[in-house]
Amino acid sequence: MSNEIKSSKIAYDALTTAGMSRRDALKVMGLTGGAAMMMGAPTRAEAGPSSDKKAKIVIVGGGAGGIMAAARLRKAASNAEITLIAPNETHLYQPGQVFMAAGLYKQSDIQHSNADLVPDGVNWVKDEVTSFDPDNNKVTTAKNGDVSYDYLVVATGLAYNYEGIEGMSPDLVGKNGISSVYLNNPVDGTAKGGVATWEWFKEMRSAAESASPEKPIKVICTQPDTPIKCGGAPQKILYLSDDNLRGNGPEGGADVSKNAQFSFCKKGTKLFGLPGYNKTLVEEVTPMYGNITDKWNHVLRKIDAEKKIATFEHTYQTKGEYDKDLEEYDMINHTEMVEMEYDFIHVVPPMKPVDAVASSPLGWQKGTAKGWLECDQYTLQHRRYENVFGIGDILGIPKGKTGGSARHHGPVLTENLIAVMNGKKPEAKFDGYTVCPLKTQYGEIMLAEFDFDGVAPSFPFLDPTKPRWIWWAFDLYMLKPMYWHLMMKGLM
Ligand SMILES: Cc1cc2nc3c(=O)[nH]c(=O)nc-3n(C[C@H](O)[C@H](O)[C@H](O)COP(=O)(O)OP(=O)(O)OC[C@H]3O[C@@H](n4cnc5c(N)ncnc54)[C@H](O)[C@@H]3O)c2cc1C
C-alpha cells in the first residue's frame, strides 16, 4: 500500500471513529486530496540520498523532532550505528494539550509509549545528556558516562522558565485561579497544564454564572516576550475559555460571557505578525467576543498568588521635541510597572533553550539568540561544527517552533547529514514552514501557515485567513493519528 493511501485510510478511520458520518469524512478527504497533505506540503518520505558508510550517529532528545530524525536516518543510513539518548518512557502529543484544556481530550489521549516509537535498529539509551563536547565529538550523560559520535543531532526541545516571573512556579498551576496549558513533564509524560486548564475553564464558568455585567469576573491571559513554542497557544486559550462562557464548550450552558472581562497582555501591538491573519483576529474574532481588551506591550513580571495581583512591565512611547531637520518628533521611551487584579489568570511561561545546550559551545555565543542551537536557518547544519545538526524547538533560527516545522526539518536534516557523510555539501533547504492552527472558537480554526517569505497556505484555493470548521475537524480528529502513525515513522 502506498504511503498516501495508508495515510488517507488512517485519516478516514480517525474521522469515522470519532463520530463523523462516512459522507462528511469522505468530503473532508476529497477536499484535501489525502490526509498526507495536512500541515504543509507533504515532505519527502523515503526518497532522497542514502549512505552505506559506517558511522556513529547520536540523537539527543526523544520528542517530536528526535523520533522523526531517528526514523528517517534509520532508513537513509543503512550501516550507521544510531543511538538515541532520551529519558522519556512516555511520548506526549503536545499540541493535544490545548484540546485537553478545552475538555475534548483526556491526558491518556495524548500519551504514547516511547518504546513503540523508537525505530527498530536504533539503540535507545534512557538517559539525559548533561553536557556537550563538540570539540571532542562526545556528550556526557547523567548515568551512562560519555557517548562519542561521528555525527550529532540535537533535538532537546526547549525549557520553560516559570521562575522567570517573580512569585511564579509550576506548583501554582491549578491553584488560586492560575493556570498554564503549556505545563508538561516530558520525562514522566504528564501534561498537568492540560488537566489544570480544563478545571480552570469550568471554575471560570461557575464564577461567571454568579457574577453580573456590572460586577464581572476579571480574567487575564498572558504571552511572554521570549520565543515560545506554538505562538498561537496563548490566544487559543483566550478564545476557547471565553467561548466556553458563551455556552459553546462540551458542557454547554447559558451565555454568561457578559459577566466576564478578559485582558490579553503581550509584547508588541499585534495579535499576529502577518497582516492577513492579524486583520481577522483584530477585526472579526476579538469584536465577536466583545469582552476582550488587548493590553499591548504588557509583559508579566510578577505574580502575587495569594492577593491575586499580577504586575506587568508596560513600555510605551511619547512624543518629544520636534526635529526640524528630520521633520519628525523625537520619540521618548517609557517603562512603568502596572498592577492588575484578577480572578483567573492564564500564564504562559518565558521559554529558553535547555541548559545543557545553552551552556555548551553549541549555542549561539551572543546576541538575541544566545544559548539556542547555532544552526544555519536553511541547512540546519551547525554553523561552527559541520558534523552537528539540529531539529525542532531548540534551533536558534528565525521561525518554526512548532511540530509542523519539525516535520519539515526532518527531511532537510536527513538529506544534509547524509550528504556530509558522503563527503558532499549540504544543499537541502528548510523554507521556514510554521503552522499555527489558531482556535478562534469551539468548532473553528484559522489555519495560519507561513514560511520565511510570508503566508504559505497548503490549500491556496481556500482563503487562509478565514476560520473554518474543516480545520477544526482535521486538528481534532486527524492530526493525532497522523502524528503517531506517519510523522513519528518518518512517512510524512
Ligand atoms: C500547549 C502546546 C500546544 C502546541 N500546539 C501545536 C500545534 O497546534 N501545532 C504544532 O505544530 N505544534 C504545536 N506545539 C509545539 C510542538 O509540540 C513542538 O514544537 C514540538 O514538540 C517540538 O519538538 P521537539 O522535538 O523540538 O521538542 P519536544 O517534542 O518537546 O521534545 C524534546 C525532548 O528532548 C528531551 N530532552 C530535553 N533535554 C534533554 C537532554 N539534556 N538530554 C536528553 N533528552 C533531553 C525532552 O525530554 C523531550 O522529550 C504545541 C506545544 C504545546 C506545549
Kindly state the average pLDDT of the residues 214-241: 98
Query: pLDDT of 253-278, one tens digit each?
Result: 999 999 999 999 999 999 999 999 99
- CATH topology classification for 162-351: FAD/NAD(P)-binding domain (3.50.50)
Check residue 241 and give its pLDDT: 98
Domain locations along the chain: 39-158+352-435+465-489, 162-351
pLDDT in tens, 238-259: 999 999 999 999 999 999 999 9
444 touches ligand 1 (CB under 6 Å): no
Does residue 241 line the site of ligand 1, with CB under 6 A?
no
pLDDT at 287: 98
Q: C-alpha grid cell for residue 394? A: 531548540
Ligand 1 close to Cβ of residue 73 (< 6 A):
no
With a cut of 70, say whether residue 2 has pLDDT above it: no
- Residue 370 cell numbers, joined: 544566545
Evaluate if residue 26 carries a pLDDT over 50. Answer: no
What confidence tier does 6 reach under pLDDT thresholds 50, 70, 90? very low
- Indicate the Cα dihedral angle 489, 111, 469, 434, nearest 10°: -50
Q: 377 near 412, Cβ under 8 Å?
A: no
* pLDDT-derived band at 29, boundaries 50, 70, 90: very low
Q: How far is the CA of 92 from the centre of ligand 1 (A)?
A: 8
Structure-block grid coordinates of residue 331: 520619540
The answer to whether the 39-158+352-435+465-489 and 162-351 domains have the same CATH topology is: yes
User: Which residue has the CA at smallest separation from atom 44 of ligand 1?
Assistant: 61
% of the chain exceeding 70 in pLDDT? 90
Whether 23 has a pLDDT exceeding 70, the answer reads: no
404 CA to centre of ligand 1 in angstroms = 11
Task: Give me ligand 1 centre to Cα 393, in Å.
Answer: 7
Residue 53 near residue 79, CB atoms below 8 Å: yes
The residue nearest atom 49 of ligand 1, judged by CA position, is: 63
Helix (H) or strand (E) run with residue 111 in it: strand 111-113
Cα-based distances in Å from 262 to 195, 286, 293, 437, 466: 21, 11, 6, 22, 23
Q: Say yes or no: CB of residue 115 within 6 Å of ligand 1.
A: no
The CATH homologous superfamily to which domain 39-158+352-435+465-489 belongs is FAD/NAD(P)-binding domain (3.50.50.60)
User: Would you state the pLDDT for residue 40?
Assistant: 56
pLDDT bin (cut points 50, 70, 90) of residue 492 is confident
Grid cell locating 477: 480528529
pLDDT of residue 49: 87
The verdict on the CB of residue 439 being under 6 Å from ligand 1 is no
How many A from CA of 95 to the centre of ligand 1?
A: 9
Question: Residue 410: CB within 6 Å of ligand 1?
Answer: no
User: What's the grid cell of residue 290?
Assistant: 466583545
Q: Whose CA is nearest to atom 31 of ligand 1?
A: 63
Q: What is the mean pLDDT of residues 312-329?
A: 94
Specify the pLDDT at position 47: 61
pLDDT for the residue 181: 98
H helix or E strand, kind and range, residue 131: strand 129-133
Across residues 306-333, what is the average pLDDT?
95
Check whether 19 has a pLDDT greater than 80: no
List, as one string, the DSSP characters of 181-239.
TT--BTTTTB-HHHHHHHHHHHHHHHHHHH--SSS-EEEEEE--SS--SSTTHHHHHHH
Residue 9's pLDDT is what?
Answer: 47
Query: Which protein residue's CA is at the shortest distance from atom 50 of ligand 1?
Result: 95
Q: What is the mean pLDDT of residues 21-46?
A: 46
d(CA 155, CA 146): 18
- Alpha-carbon distance 451 to 298, whole Å? 27
Q: Which atom of ligand 1 is nearest to the CA of 435?
A: 11
Residue type, 87: P
Q: What are phi and psi of 7, to 5 degrees?
A: -70, -35
pLDDT of residue 400: 80
- Cα(22) to ligand 1 centroid in Å equals 34
- Does the C-beta of 401 come closer than 6 Å to ligand 1? yes
Cβ–Cβ < 8 Å for 410, 433: no
Using the atom order of ligand 1, give the atom closest to the CA of residue 65: 25
Burial of 59 from C-beta contacts in 10 A (0-12 / 13-18 / 19+)? buried
C-alpha grid cell for residue 244?
466556553
Q: Are 387 and 420 in contact (CB under 8 A)?
A: yes
Render 253-320 in DSSP notation, one character per residue: ----GGGEEEEEEESSS-SSSSHHHHHIIIIIIHHHHS-EEEEETEEEEEEETTTTEEEEEEEEEEEE
pLDDT greater than 50 at residue 73 = yes
- Is the predicted pLDDT of residue 324 greater than 60, yes or no? yes
Ligand 1 near 349 CB (within 6 A): no
Identify the residue whose C-alpha is closest to ligand 1 atom 35: 61
Residue whose CA is at the smallest distance from ligand 1 atom 47: 186
CA atoms within 13 A on the CB side of 478: 26
Residue 168 near residue 160, CB atoms below 8 Å? no
> Looking at residue 13, what is its pLDDT?
52
Give the closest residue to 242 by CA, choosing from 171, 308, 290, 190: 290
In the predicted model, is pLDDT for residue 68 greater than 60? yes
Question: Among candidates 428, 409, 433, 454, which has minimal Cα distance to 39?
Answer: 433
Does residue 285 or residue 9 have the better pLDDT?
Answer: 285
CB atoms under 10 Å from CB of 386, counted, come to 13
Q: How far apart are CA 236 and CA 283, in angstroms?
A: 17
The region of weakest confidence among 29-43, 164-178, 403-417 is 29-43
Query: Which uninterrupted H or E stretch holds 447?
Result: strand 444-451
- Mean pLDDT, the chain, as a whole number? 92
Higher pLDDT, 11 or 198: 198
Distance 55 CA to ligand 1 centre (A): 27
Q: Is the CB of 382 under 6 A from ligand 1?
A: no
Site to probe by mutation for ligand 1, drawn from 181, 230, 235, 359 as the one with most ligand atoms within 8 Å of Cβ, is 230
Strand 178-179 relative to strand 344-346: parallel, antiparallel, unpaired? parallel
pLDDT the model gives residue 55: 98
Length of the chain: 492
* Mean pLDDT value across residues 414-436: 97
Q: Is the pLDDT of residue 25 over 50?
A: no
Q: Indicate if ligand 1 lies below 6 Å from the C-beta of 240.
A: no
Residue 449 has pLDDT above 60, yes or no: yes
Of all protein residues, the one whose alpha carbon is nearest to atom 43 of ligand 1 is 128
Q: How far is the CA of 64 from the centre of ligand 1 (A)?
A: 6
Does the Cβ of 87 fall within 6 Å of ligand 1? yes
With a 6 Å cutoff on the Cβ, whether 157 touches ligand 1 is: yes
Dihedral over Cα of 196, 199, 201, 206: its sign: negative
Strands 56-60 and 81-85: parallel
Which residue type is seen at 460? P
Q: How far apart are the first and last CA of the chain?
A: 15
